[in-house]
Structure 1
Amino acid sequence: MDRLDREILGILQRDARISYRDLGVRVGLSANAAADRVRRMRREGVIRGFTVVVDPAADTRGGLVVFIDLTLRQDTTNEEFEQKAAALPGITEVVHVTGEYDYLVRARAADPAALDTLLRRLKREAGVAQSSTRIALRAAGRPPGGGLP
Structure 2
Amino acid sequence: MDSLDYGIIDQLRLNARAGYGDIGDIIGLSASAVKRRVDRLVSDGVIRGFTIQVDPAVDGLSTEAYVELFCRGTVAPDELRRILSGIPDVVDAGTVTGSADAIVHMRSRDIASLELALERVRVAPNVDHTRSAIVLSRLISRSHD
Q: Same fold (TM over 0.5)?
A: yes
1:59-98 deviation per Cα after TM superposition (whole angstroms, max 9, x unaligned): 3615521111223443421122123312212122223444
Relative to structure 1, is the Cα distance of residues 9 and 101 closer, same or farther in structure 2, using a 3 angstrom cutoff? farther
> What does residue 115 of structure 2 align with?
116
**AA partner of residue 104 (structure 1):** I
User: What SS class does the counterpart of residue 119 from structure 2 fall into?
Assistant: helix
> What does residue 30 of structure 1 align with?
34
Q: Is contact 1:20-1:32 (8 Å) kept?
A: no
Q: Is contact 1:85-1:126 (8 Å) kept?
A: no
Asked which structure has the greater RCO (Cα within 8 Å, sep 6+), the reply is: 1
Relative to structure 1, is the Cα distance of residues 19 and 128 closer, same or farther in structure 2, using a 3 angstrom cutoff? farther
Q: Is contact 1:20-1:34 (8 Å) kept?
A: no
Aligned-pair distance for 1:35? 1.9
When the two structures are superposed, what TM-score results if normalisation uses the length of structure 1? 0.63
> What does residue 76 of structure 1 align with?
75
Structure 2 unaligned blocks of 5 or more: none
* Percent of aligned pairs sharing the same letter: 24
CA RMSD of aligned residues (A): 3.5
Matches within 5 A, 1:85-100: 85-100=84-99
When the two structures are superposed, what TM-score results if normalisation uses the length of structure 2? 0.65
Larger radius of gyration: 2
